[in-house]
Chain A
């Protein structure tokens, strides 16, 4: 698994979880040095799991996420099969070591909800009607969590679906916006998510102007919400370019591997 190789210097930095007094300084700079509308550094790679039909790995800030896709294959158990389309079975799962305090590997209520909303974020993209009676399995593993894992999980899962060669209307890409210290910010990291005032995760298909996941918790006026939604969509568009790059890179990289 390539994920292991990627645990570089970021991993060794302290992951301490002190609650800061302010999240944004007077110059509008955030704790990790970003501007209000700046995304975290992101790395994406597809085709990382030999056994899966499609796979992708993503790092966004300290998030490390691996997705494997299997199928379309015969749906099991049988009763979940739909006569006129494929079903997506999606599991969002956090590794026990992905957060400060060990997380039980058993699915929490949060995991159940996220698996559902992530599935519903991906479904609009996939031509499910091409594969009746089958199931497409999407396994999302959060190896390390740093805020915004549902969004990063969706971005990665869309790449893995594309890598599996499953026909899609568009890639789904996700990004959160939120509010901290009275300011609307994009791509919240862990501390901003926990200490901040609101979190608005958004999944988007840029070619169709389609919002496929939208959640919010916190407190925003209607105008603030509109700003946050716009910011999350802008962030998504930036990530979308990187997704496409990562998909293209696979085919460039294949040749190099064969030459070795």
Chain B
């Protein structure tokens, strides 16, 4: 962790800049860094994508296997999201089981996909109550330069859109693979945008310097109809006023639509 004195000095500078509507790298308050999406980069995975958001880099791999459904939803496939803050990605990451930051990241990405019903999980049921497909989404952070949530959510969506399911037939309750593939049935395209509050300003797509000094952050995930499907406030010991939250929903509606075009086009 950067020492608190350095953070205070940085914060002073960043707040001063923001007061005149500027950011340290010259971007506008709601402007994202360059987004680069490369799909299908891991051949062994059923789906994959690498997202570069400025210098932040995240790879998501999708693996598909079979398993038993949850007893309360016997005719739906299972979705699980896991996130690893790989130690090579930042001096602040350490090896070991996922810490609270990684768990939160995974759960926020999970909620966006789940609550927007992005995947048609009903088509992933092989035999009700017995056998369904399980979609594992593994988020792998390779370089941390801020805004991991948005980068991971975009990478997860791009990887799912890239996912191929093998064709199969059921014989005696067993799955028999057939030649050929079908795409994973995607029916919605959730996009997350994360605001940081620094001083009295809300900014989007924080770099690592901004993240270290932010008072609080707020992630809004919206589906393709412009409805909100997940929200998460976190990061730091600050708060949002009601006015700021409502302002954020308006910005998020525009921004998620803009980003969705980039992801869906890729």
Contacts and interface: CB of A to CB of B under 8 A. Distances in A.
A60 B89 CA distance: 44
Please indicate which of the listed interface residues A83, A205, A218 has the most CB atoms of chain B within 10 Å of its own CB.
A218
A195 to B, nearest CB: 11
Given A113-B103, A214-B218, A217-B115, A205 B249 contact: no
Contacts of B228: 216, 219-222, 225
Contact of A222 (B111, B116, B241, B253): B253
Interface stretch (A29-37, A69-77, A114-122): A114-122
Interface string A123-151: 11000100000000000000000000000
A213 interface: yes
Contacts of A115: 100
Interface stretch (B53-61, B141-149, B201-209, B232-240): B232-240
B265 interface: no
A44 B67 CA distance: 45
B104 A116 contact: yes
Given A211-B233, A221-B227, A226 B240 contact: no
Interface in B209-266: 216, 218, 223, 226-242, 245-246, 249-250, 253
A214 B103 contact: no
Contacts of A219: 115-116, 223, 227-229
Contacts of B233: 117, 120, 211-215
A249 interface: no
Nearest to B220: A216
A210 interface: yes
Interface string A78-104: 000011100000000000000000000
Interface in B96-130: 100, 103-104, 106-107, 111, 114-116
B4 interface: yes
Contacts of A42: none
Contacts of A215: 230-233
A117 B232 CA distance: 9
A112 interface: yes
A214 B240 contact: yes
Nearest to B218: A214
A116 B232 CA distance: 12
Contacts of A27: none
Contact of B239 (A124, A217, A218): A124
Contacts of B245: 211, 214, 229
Contacts of B227: 219-222
Nearest to A200: B231
Interface in A174-204: 200
Nearest to A221: B227
Contacts of A216: 228-231
A229 B230 contact: no
B100 A113 contact: yes
Contacts of B236: 120, 123
11 contacts: A109-B106, A117-B104, A124-B238, A210-B241, A211-B242, A216-B229, A219-B223, A219-B229, A220-B227, A221-B226, A221-B228
Interface of B: 3-4, 100, 103-104, 106-107, 111, 114-116, 216, 218, 223, 226-242, 245-246, 249-250, 253
Interface of A: 82-84, 109-110, 112-113, 115-117, 120, 123-124, 128, 200, 205, 208-222, 225-226, 229-230, 233
